[in-house]
């Protein structure tokens, strides 16, 4: 887990997709986030069905996970570590108890804040031409997943 500092940032974009506008200030409290995506190795510990297409390496990320299943994984991981689960499995949307000390998915604001890592630019690492050093995507990923940690992290270690 990586401890991320609280702070304020401009979320969204006035020049991006319609659902990202308008850009607006958001205040974030300090929070913890996994350094990498959830791997097959971690997901297996929760004893949930794995929907992934690529399961050939324990250090590859789980993919094709439904929103509800991701929340269930967070609860199972919390229980395995003796923490109070965040998601109420008795509600249709698995409502989140943010006061619980268990694992949960980041909010949209937390996700964008973590990705930006304190930068005011579109990319934490500068210009889009450096993206290959930091991420797998359509142009360099050979249409498959890759072992986590093979690319450079952002300034906050994610």
Counting Cα atoms < 13 Å in the Cβ hemisphere of 138 gives 0
Per residue in 73-112, pLDDT (tens digit) is 999 999 999 999 999 989 888 899 999 999 999 999 999 9
What does the alpha-carbon distance between residue 54 and residue 66 come to, in Å, rounded to a whole number? 16
Nearest to 1 by CA among 110, 106, 158, 118: 158
Looking at residue 105, its pLDDT comes to 98
Does one domain contain both 23 and 42? no
Contact residues for 96 (Cβ-Cβ < 8 A; gap 6+): 71, 86, 87, 88, 104
Q: Is the pTM of this model over 0.75?
A: yes
The sign of the CA dihedral 82, 44, 42, 96 is negative
Q: Supply the range of the domain harboring residue 123.
A: 1-33+106-158
**CB distance 134 to 52 below 8 Å:** no
- Domain-ending residue, one of 88, 104, 120: 104
Query: Structurally, how many domains does the chain consist of?
Result: 2
């Amino acid at each position: 887990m990586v401890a991320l500092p609280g702070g304020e940032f401009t979320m969204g974009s006035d020049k991006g997709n319609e659902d990202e506008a308008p850009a607006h200030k958001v205040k974030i409290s300090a929070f913890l986030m996994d350094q990498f995506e959830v791997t097959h190795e971690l997901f297996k510990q929760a004893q949930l069905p794995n929907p992934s297409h690529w399961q050939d390496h324990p250090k590859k990320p789980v993919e094709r996970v439904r929103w509800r299943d991701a929340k269930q994984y967070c609860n199972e991981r919390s229980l395995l570590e003796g923490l109070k689960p965040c998601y109420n499995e008795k509600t249709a949307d698995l409502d989140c108890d943010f006061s619980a000390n268990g694992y949960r998915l980041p909010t949209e604001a937390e996700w964008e804040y973590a990705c930006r890592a304190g930068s005011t630019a579109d990319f934490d690492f500068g210009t889009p031409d450096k993206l290959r050093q930091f991420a797998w995507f359509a142009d360099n990923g050979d249409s498959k997943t890759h072992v986590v940690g093979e690319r450079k992290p952002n300034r906050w270690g994610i």
